Structures are given as C-alpha cells and as structure tokens.
Amino acid sequence: MHIDIVSVLPELLESPLSHSIMKRAREKGLLQVEVHALRKWAVNSYGQVDDYQYGGGAGMVMMCEPLVNAIDELSVKAPFDEIIYLTPDGEKFNQKIANQLSLKSRLLLICGHYKGIDERVREHYITREISIGDYVLSGGELPAAVLVDAIGRLLPGVLNDETSALFDSFQDNLLAPPVYTRPADFRGWKVPEVLLSGDPKKIEDWRYEMALKRTSERRPDMAG
Ligand code: ADE
C-alpha cells in the first residue's frame, strides 16, 4: 500500500506516522507513506498556495493551481485508486471505510486548511471526501494521520498477531469486551473468575456476552 499525503504543514504528520505499529509497517515495507509539502507547487516565490475567497468573507481558500499541479505530478508514477480530501463535510469515517480503503494500493490524501480548497478541485479531482467526526479541526493533517493509522494496521502482516484486528471493536459490529492483566487481585478488585478458568470455550462465550452487553448499553445504534 502506498499513500501520498499533500499538506501545507507536513511537520504535523511526522510523529504520528513514525512510531509503534505505523513505524513497523513502514520498516517492513508493507506501507509506504510519502508526505509532500504543498508549497513545493506554490504559485510564486513567496510560497503562496492560498488566496482570498470570491464574494468576500473571512478566511483564505487553497488555490486550484498548486493542488492540481501536485496531484498531476504525483499521478505520473501510477494513477491513484482514490484521491481523498479530508473535510468536515465529507462522509463520516468508520471501520467499514477503513476496511474498504485497506484493499486499495495507491491513495492520495489532500489536507485542507483555512476555509478549505477551491470547489473546482473537489469537482474535478477528488474521488472521495472523508470527515473523521462532527467537529472542526484546524487542518486535515490529524484526520489524514487517523486514516493512515486505521488503514495501515489492517494491512496483512502489519499486526504481529493477525487475528487481533479481526477482534477489534467495530469489525463485527460489536464493541470489544473488557480486558484485564496481572495482578488478578488489585486492591481487592478482582479479575472475573472465568478469565482465570483456563477454559477457552467458556472464555470465548463470556467475551461474546460482554461484547453484546457493552454494545447494547453504550451503542444501541450499532445493534440494528
Ligand atoms: N478538517 C477539519 N476538520 C476535519 C474533520 N472533522 N474531518 C476531516 N477533515 C477535517
């Protein structure tokens, strides 16, 4: 899987994609992520990539030219399966979309800033628009990092124990059951007996029951 990201603040993406599982995925060559500074395609030597909006109003708009030149140049190597714009008015990201995107081989993520990007880029280049939730962030970088993490961990070979992604919350429309580690008794707070029973069938049944309970209590909307 190859993911290119275009951003006016590439530094914001460095840390989230350089540790833990993402680091390993990249080192193993299972995930290639390239972050590109949009200013490389700026319209002048001042590094301009945005301008005032037509019709007036506060806030700058990211210009067509730098974005289109960036997309065209990055598409030369091979076409993208999806060109994704991170925006609060996109479709809301969830596990199903992460699963779908993890099956693609080349993605381009465009991070917006200020008032967003010129509508014509959305109309003519963007194939999918994604929001990570109903709140507004200062830019698309953190949302892009969220997408890369959610997608990257699904790639075969990225997680040590491949089955673990299958049992994540949301993969089977259920929240994950509670988990415990040592000690079995901490300040008198005991780990449920069944988990110490050594009976895999009983443990599996308990976990399923707890997942159902947790889902119906916390997310009744997921059950239907
Ligand atoms: N850019 C700003 N806020 C965002 C959000 N909630 N999701 C995706 N991109 C964004």
Q: How many angstroms is it from 59 CA to the middle of ligand 1?
A: 16
Q: Ligand 1: does its nearest atom lie under 6 Å from the Cβ of 86?
A: yes
pTM above 0.85, yes or no: yes
In this structure, are 116 and 143 located in the same domain?
yes
The C-alpha atoms of residue 111 and residue 86 are separated, in whole angstroms, by 6
Domain total in the chain? 2
Residue 213 is part of which domain span? 169-223
Residue 162 clears pLDDT 90, i.e. is over it: no
Q: Of 118, 152, 186, which residue is a domain's last? A: 152
Distance from the alpha carbon of residue 65 to the mean position of ligand 1, in angstroms: 22
Note whether residue 163 is domain-resident. no
Name the pLDDT band for 167 (thresholds 50, 70, 90).
Answer: confident
Q: Domain with 192 in it: what CATH number?
A: 1.10.1270.20
The confidence band for 104, taking pLDDT boundaries of 50, 70 and 90, is: very high
Cβ atoms of 21 and 12 within 8 Å: the answer is no
Return d(Cα 173, Cα 68) in angstroms, integer. Answer: 38
Amino acid sitting at position 125: Y
The domain that contains 114 carries what CATH number? 3.40.1280.10
pLDDT tens for each residue of 29-56? 999 999 999 999 999 999 999 999 999 9
Q: Tens of pLDDT along 65-84? A: 999 999 999 999 999 999 99
Taking the C-alpha atoms of residue 61 and residue 59, their distance in angstroms, rounded to an integer, is: 7
Same domain as 104, residue 75: yes
Whether residue 127 sits in one domain with residue 210: no
Same-domain pairing of 16 and 109: yes
E strands, 94-184, are 106-111, 128-131
Q: Are residues 95 and 188 in the same domain?
A: no
My answer on whether 125 and 203 are in the same domain is no
